[in-house]
Structure 1
Amino acid sequence: MRIQTDAEPALDAEDRQRIAGALAHGDDTLHETALGGVRVCGPANAPRLLLSHGAGAGHDSPFLSRLRHALAAGGVQVIAVEFAYMARMRREGRRRPPPRVEGLVAELSAWRRAIDADGQAPAWLGGKSMGGRVASLLAAREATPGLVLCGYPFHPPGKPERLRLDHWPDLACPLLLLQGTRDAFGTRAEVESYTLPAQLECHFLDGGDHDWQPPKRLGVSQAELIDAAAALISRRLAPVDRRRG
């Protein structure tokens, strides 16, 4: 089922050329389009991950920057797309709340159509926090090769009764979850108590919070947890034998 919205901006020929060039070069340059900004990091013809950002920080954040470069080093082409409200935040230099989630799902659907138009194998969907929720909502409605969730917001902090899992029974694709054990949006104990899809592959990052920042006493850094998560994602999307080929 295709997600449609009357407010969806149209990509012109120049936008499509920018996207095609970004996919070909994979050099992490920011390209502006009618849908928002897009950065592509990683080799062309590699397995693709269409990655969405969280509510308050875009793809220029240290977290997402390190994640996509680590994934690219592991043989994944990361297509980091920007929602329109975040593009406006970036241009104006001031914070804005995200719009309703249904609008973001429609935006992500439009991004996917633009990316998949080149005829290569469809991209997996993925996202950090809110971006993962949006990706999962789209994957529950449209056929998707697979889904990568980085710090899924199972519930608002302090409100464990407000679960965001109603659509999860409709997820039929491979599902990879990377979650900090101390994540206020869903701790390890909470996540392990949920009834989740049988195809879920879940990895907990020891000591990590919602941004995978561990306490100093553990002697491990946020960067190390990001790199460990990227290795797990790369292993799933780009197996070693495929990367060597």
Structure 2
Amino acid sequence: MSSERVVEVETPLGPARVQLVRPARARGTVVLTHGASGGITADLLAVRGGLVAGGWAVALVEQAWAVAGRRMPPPAATQDPAWLPVLERLTSGRGTVPRPLVVGGKSNGARVAFRTAHATGADAVLALAFPLHPPGKPLASRAEELRAPVPHGIPLHVLQGETDPFGTPEEVRAELPDPSWVTVVKGGHGFTRKPDDVVAAAVAFVRSVG
């Protein structure tokens, strides 16, 4: 049996919204957030379903810029300070979520999670499609963001679509110390309509952390 609640968290950009599903005796917590579209997409909901079925609490976060109706995420210097209060709210004080804590997200959400992994105290990070570079612009690399958790010894995993124009699995693997940290899944940057392989890979990685 699981409990569900919605939590609003004040941030420098206004309130963020957290949908928290917590099974009884949860094994740990996974916090996931959306991409630049600003919506909680079907693949995030599918991953949540698989994780909750496996006994994990899952928090789906609508970031403050999205709740405010902005069409695009702000720069990292603005986005990250508005992300940190969400994790602080979940991991401190009353209602603290159980550990281990895996933090991640879809596309732009993965970027913010990887950049702030150390600051948020994440035990591991998970990317559902990491946008390594803009389509057709491989020299505009975000590899430093991708590798940000590595110096802190934080385990990471990337689920990358086989035809992702924001970076193929091979491109992502080339930027990481261990190619096994990347799992190839069907589809492109948006995966497929029935992302069963994404769910299975996400559950497998989170289970390895727990």
Deviation, 1:120, is 3.2
Equivalent of 2:19, from 36, 39, 62? 39
Match of 1:234 in 2: 203
Contact 1:41 1:69 in 2 (8 A): no
Q: Give the TM-score normalised by structure 2.
A: 0.83
Equivalent position amino acid for 2:103 in 1: L
Deviation, 1:42, is 4.2
CA deviation map 1:113-167 (0-9, x unaligned): 1101127325211110000000000015554200101000000111111110124
Structure 2 unpaired stretches of 5+: none
Equivalent position amino acid for 1:202 in 2: V
Distance 1:169 1:120 in 2: 24
Q: Do residues 67 (structure 1) and 47 (structure 2) align?
A: yes
Distance 1:199 1:189 in 2: 9
Deviation, 1:85, is 1.2
Identity of aligned residues (%): 29
Distance 1:146 1:200 in 2: 15
Structure-2 change in CA distance of 1:119 and 1:40 (3 Å) = closer
Contact 2:149 2:155 in 1 (8 A): no
CA radius of gyration, larger in: 1
Match of 2:77 in 1: 102
Structure-2 change in CA distance of 1:184 and 1:237 (3 Å) = same
Match of 2:159 in 1: 178
CA deviation map 1:23-42 (0-9, x unaligned): x9543x54444331111134
Distance 1:97 1:120 in 2: 32
Equivalent position amino acid for 1:47 in 2: G
Secondary structure at 2:191 match in 1: coil
Contact 2:22 2:52 in 1 (8 A): yes
Distance 1:26 1:201 in 2: 32
Q: RMSD of aligned C-alpha atoms?
A: 2.4
Deviation, 1:169, is 5.4
Residues paired across the two proteins, number: 198
Deviation, 1:67, is 2.3
Distance 1:67 1:170 in 2: 22
- Name the one with the larger strand percent: 2
Equivalent position amino acid for 2:122 in 1: T
CA deviation map 1:153-203 (0-9, x unaligned): 0001111111101241552211111000101111133234x2313386211
Distance 1:211 1:136 in 2: 19
Structure-2 change in CA distance of 1:228 and 1:75 (3 Å) = farther
Deviation, 1:74, is 2.6
Q: Give the TM-score normalised by structure 1.
A: 0.72
Match of 2:105 in 1: 127
Deviation, 1:227, is 2.3
Contact 2:163 2:189 in 1 (8 A): yes
Structure-2 change in CA distance of 1:119 and 1:185 (3 Å) = closer
Structure-2 change in CA distance of 1:129 and 1:232 (3 Å) = same
